[in-house]
Amino acid sequence: MAPISYGLPLYQLLAEEEVERIHQASMRILSEFGIAFYDEESRSILKKHGAKVQGDMVMLEPGLVSEYLAKAPCQFTQLARNPRNNLVIGGNAMVFAPVYGPPYVLDLEQGRREARLADFINFVKLTYMSPYLHHSGGTVVEPTDEPVSTRHLDMVFSHIKYSDKAFMGSVTSAENAADTVAMAELVFGTEVIRQQPAVISLINVSSPRRFDDRMLGAIKVYARARQALIITPFILAGAMGPTTIAGTVAQQNAEALAGIVFTQMIEPGTPVVYGSFLTNIDLQSGSPVFGSPESQLGLYASAQLARRYRLPFRGGGMFSSSKIPDAQAGYESVMVMLPTVLARTNFVLHAAGWLENGLVSGYEKFVLDCEILGMLHTWAKGLDLSDDSLALEAIAEVQPGGHHLGTEHTMRHFRTAFYRAGLFDYDSAEKWQEDGAHDTYSRAHRKVKELLASYEPPPIDQSLEEGLRDFMTRRKEAIPLAVS
Amino acid sequence: MAPISYGLPLYQLLAEEEVERIHQASMRILSEFGIAFYDEESRSILKKHGAKVQGDMVMLEPGLVSEYLAKAPCQFTQLARNPRNNLVIGGNAMVFAPVYGPPYVLDLEQGRREARLADFINFVKLTYMSPYLHHSGGTVVEPTDEPVSTRHLDMVFSHIKYSDKAFMGSVTSAENAADTVAMAELVFGTEVIRQQPAVISLINVSSPRRFDDRMLGAIKVYARARQALIITPFILAGAMGPTTIAGTVAQQNAEALAGIVFTQMIEPGTPVVYGSFLTNIDLQSGSPVFGSPESQLGLYASAQLARRYRLPFRGGGMFSSSKIPDAQAGYESVMVMLPTVLARTNFVLHAAGWLENGLVSGYEKFVLDCEILGMLHTWAKGLDLSDDSLALEAIAEVQPGGHHLGTEHTMRHFRTAFYRAGLFDYDSAEKWQEDGAHDTYSRAHRKVKELLASYEPPPIDQSLEEGLRDFMTRRKEAIPLAVS
């Protein structure tokens, strides 16, 4: 299914002057307090283009920020192995991608355990099979049974082999980024991906106010190859940001802009996305809290800032702090996901599968989240106000106290009328009891098994697959095994 | 806690001309197709005031509709036994009330069972104890162990005795409505409640296009006593309305307006609320579906119509089709409740406890829903953009890679900074395992027991309580026992 093309009104939390107030605070952070870039070459690039550099710290004046922000495209197209899955990132498009990063997986039968490459492949397959996930994502789980130094090769290969949707690149080092680009070149061609990016990669800012050398290494490789980047400060208000949301958003904004400006200094026109990953900590335990009302406020404000700079926006997702897909997980996930849609987020990472503060990819949570994504596709179509939809003839036809079940209008609409969440239970209590009184977790577990059993891979050119395998073999031989 | 005073921007799904298009469709329904009023006196009141009457059918011209809508107040205050709990209904105020109507209750220990008066009293107590429910509601459960003909007396008495928040009246007949008014007079005084209503009552339209004699009887009694009414068409699109949302909203609008106009013909200035209870059926099973994307579209459109007529709006709630408080219940509840808030719904019935399409009041669901209500109170405060909240000094103070845990700013804010959902789990997986790996359902169960054990009744004047008991005794002797 095509990504949502969001034509409905946006929810605008802030007035224009309020957005401006945050912008001005961020400009002070950038020009007076500065952002640390822990890489000498990066600092010299920044300096060469007009930034003020003192030690590790880089200061950017508002004029310089505006100048380089203006070079970034407001939208771009990411290539997919199947061209029908090419994706517009930006504008009215809303692209959904699965959870990113968890070292653990959970399912009802085997419980919580370290993720393996087999789990990684499973999540790529489940993503491929969902009509509501448009993007294959990146580190859908950490394949902890593969060596740290080479697992990026297995991940990129698995995305290409088991799916034909667009995918994300490795950011763990400059070398791994270069491997990702090389594999994308094998799939799409060296010149082709310079015209339109084939890889999009997630650069986390090590908040507060710090880019580390690994992330900067990856930025440089991808920007020079004109591959897309999502610059995302990772901020929990109360820990890496102030204990107030406005300050946290201002800091996030400064950090994201610093990274985005840097990409445009390396290579003007590099496709780049303004990223937000912002919630608060629980001030009793120090743990992150997902689904909080504060994170919703931050999300709307962040989206408005991204729009102010005419940049594609990444944020939100189906976040939860719960350990299992229970009621808490359901409540929390929608508490963030609905605002994600109403803010017209262009790239939604973690749109399915997230549990336990992002430590766990949940198999059942994944397929349940997909039901909500399906509902959101329906929601985004808005209210049809055509004559046929207003249905005055049908209303006149049905007498007071009668019903619409047999009208010609109902017959005409009933196949396509309403979205149906296959995993949600709409039976009577009696029927539900008879069928075993399964809760949602248990129904979803059965669905996961069915899906994985029925997976059929997308066709892949034999010589392409061999080329990719050869590349992996050579690289695995060349890369020294780090202690994992 | 005071009701939300919603100062944030509204989510406006429809453009003004789209609202107008629905309005025009409703005007055709009212003037050409008509609404059935199954009560002769009601029809003669309507006729006397200018409506066209043919048999049971009543037709209302647009000019007549406008004329009588203009007589309804745009907001009013409902009295509560404790004046600190008096409630503004309308304007920016958002009042939350518990679930209404379920014949069954569910808790983890005893399972699903017929509701009794003891359950009714329990839910009144839980509502009284929640800072996030401002209104005691009405039929929080059906006390099925009490005779049908007299249980309204027990319900009204229990609201008055076990709570001091505002409550809802009986609508099952004109006589029961009169009993409710009489009991309110004992509490507040006959003249006082003519100035400001002490009872608000839920009139369901028997859609499509039909008011039955029981509801009309109740409307007449309450309007003549100037007690507040919520006129709510009960429509499942595909059954009592067309298989399209626009048509269903147009029909709902016509039905609601017919009822509202009728109240103003009986007694101009009667406090009245525009009600919406609208979702779709599952076209496979014919069952209602709660939490659907279609119901969200309907909710936003309905709220905009109510605002067009400058009437207080009732809609939404924590709806779910699930049988138990599992992930489905969490997802579905927020799918409706967030739009309910973004549409600035003035009176939110079913804000806590709803399960199984409204057949069940869930004890655990109730306290879990209250956590979300707490979050929504926080959300509605919006984003504080004061200098202190922008926290530039704290941001400057924390060095790159440092943390905010010990800053003076954090020390100053950390007690009040973020909403904390006590029933949601924010522990580490290890701690959660150690503590018994309880899911949300099980944690909520413990909370329900704690709350009920710690309940302390609000003070009540001895002579008032005796007066109410005397009235009940007399009425119970006078009312013939119907077969229940």
Q: What are phi and psi of A177, to 5 degrees?
A: -65, -45
Q: Quick count: other Cβ atoms within 10 Å of Cβ A449?
A: 13
CA distances from B261 to B74, B207, B227, B410 (A): 14, 17, 15, 55
Q: Which chain A positions have a beta carbon within 8 Å of B409's beta carbon?
A: 242-244
Smallest Cβ–Cβ distance between B391 and the set A12, A242, A293 belongs to A242
Tokens of A374: 């399906």
Q: Kindly indicate the confidence band of residue B482, based on its pLDDT and cuts at 50, 70 and 90.
A: low
Q: What is the pLDDT of residues A141-178, one digit of tens each?
A: 999 999 999 999 999 999 999 999 999 999 999 999 99
- Across the range B396-401, mean pLDDT stands at 96
**pLDDT score at B484:** 45
Mean pLDDT of the A426-440 span: 95
Phi then psi for residue B39, to 5 deg, are -160, 125
Of B25, B335, B372, which is closest to A392 when you measure between CB atoms? B25
B400 closest CB neighbour out of A209, A280, A322: A209
Q: Which residue in A56, A247, A326 is closest to B327 by CB distance?
A: A326
Q: Is A281 left (phi over 0), alpha (psi -120 to 50) or beta?
A: beta
pLDDT at res. B471: 98
DSSP sequence for A394-435: HHHHSPTT--STT-HHHHHHTTTSS---TTS--S-HHHHHHT
Check: complex ipTM more than 0.90? yes
> What is the structure's pLDDT at A484?
45
DSSP annotation of A356 reads G
Distance of alpha carbon B246 from alpha carbon B102, whole angstroms? 29
Q: How far is A21 from chain B (nearest CA, A)?
A: 8
Whether A322 and B244 lie within 8 Å, measured CB to CB: no
Question: Tokens representing A158?
Answer: 């698995």
Q: In angstroms, what separates the C-alpha of A364 from chain B's closest C-alpha?
A: 10
Q: Do B331 and A326 touch (CB under 8 A)?
A: no
pLDDT at B285: 85
Give per-residue pLDDT as tens, B80-131: 999 999 999 999 999 999 999 999 999 999 999 999 999 999 999 999 999 9
Model confidence, pTM: 0.97
Beta bridge partners of B202: B230
Least confident window among A55-69, A243-257, A398-412, B353-367 = A398-412
Contact check, Cβ <8 Å, A425/B328: yes
Whether residue A425 and residue B18 make contact (CB cut-off 8 A), yes or no, is no
Tokens in use for B463? 């002579």
Residue B29 tokens, joined: 């329904």
Token pair of B415 as six digits:
């007690």
In chain B, the residue whose alpha carbon lies closest to the alpha carbon of A401 is B208
Least confident of A39-43, A402-406, B357-361: A402-406
Which residues does chain A have within 8 Å of residue B22's beta carbon, measured at their own beta carbons? 385, 390
Interchain CB distance below 8 Å, B238 and A418: yes
Q: Facing residues of A87 across strands?
A: A78
Q: Do B328 and A112 touch (CB under 8 A)?
A: no
Nearest to A199 by CA among A275, A241, A137, A268: A137
Q: Do B424 and A239 touch (CB under 8 A)?
A: no
CA dihedral for B357, B419, A359, A150, sign (positive or negative):
positive
| A82/chain B closest Cα distance in angstroms | 30
B294–A251 C-beta distance less than 8 A: no
Q: What DSSP letter does each residue of A197-257 carry, written as one string?
A: -SEEEEEEE-SSSEE-HHHHHHHHHHHHTT-EEEEEEEEEETTTB-SSHHHHHHHHHHHHH
pLDDT for res A482: 59
Q: Which residues of A touch B341 (CB under 8 A)?
A: none
Phi-psi region of A317 (alpha: psi -120 to 50; beta: other; left: phi over 0): left
- Tell me, what amino acid is at A467? G
Q: Residue A346 is encoded by which pair of tokens? A: 């262009």
The chain A residue lying nearest B38, using CA atoms, is A400
CB contact under 8 A, B395 and A251: yes
Tell me the CA end-to-end span of chain B in Å, nearest whole number: 39
Residues B140 and B121: their CA atoms lie apart, in Å, by 9
- CB atoms A245 and B384 under 8 Å: yes
B331/A335 CB distance under 8 A: no
Question: What does the pLDDT read at residue A416?
Answer: 84
- Closest residue in chain B to residue A370, using alpha carbons only: B331
Q: What's the pLDDT at B283?
A: 87
Asked if residue B333 lies in contact with residue B320, where contact means CB atoms within 8 angstroms, the answer is yes
Q: Which two tokens stand for residue B93?
A: 């105020």
CB contact under 8 A, B247 and A390: yes
- Looking at the predicted structure, is the pLDDT value of residue A179 above 80? yes
Q: Which of B21, B426, B435 to mutate to test the interface with A (most CBs of A within 10 A)?
A: B426
From B35, B237, B417, residue closest to A244, measured CB to CB:
B417
In the DSSP assignment, the letter for residue B97 is -
Which residue in chain A has the smallest CA separation from B430? A323
Which residue in A has a C-alpha nearest to residue B238's C-alpha?
A404
| A and B: number of Cβ contacts within 8 A | 400
φ, ψ of residue B60 in degrees (nearest 5): -125, 125
Of A328, A401, A410, the CB nearest to B424: A328
Cβ–Cβ gap A394/B329 under 8 Å: no
> A141 forms bridges with which residues in the sheet?
none
Whether A181 has a pLDDT exceeding 80, the answer reads yes
Q: Give the per-residue pLDDT at A260.
A: 98
Please tell me which of the candidates B286, B325, B356 has its beta carbon nearest to residue A429: B356
Chain centroid offset of residue A371 CA: 17
User: Phi/psi at B270 (nearest 5 deg)?
Assistant: -55, 130
Task: Mark yes or no for CB contact B335/A339 under 8 Å.
Answer: no
| pLDDT for A26 beyond 80 | yes
pLDDT (0 to 100) of residue B233:
97
Q: Which residue of A has its CA nearest to B15?
A: A9
Residue A284 confidence (pLDDT)? 84
Q: Taking a C-beta distance cutoff of 8 angstroms, is the pair A211, A36 a contact?
A: yes
Average pLDDT for chain A: 97
Is pLDDT larger for residue A474 or for residue A406? A474
Closest by CA to B218, choosing from B183, B257, B276, B266, is B266
Extract the tokens encoding A195: 């015209």
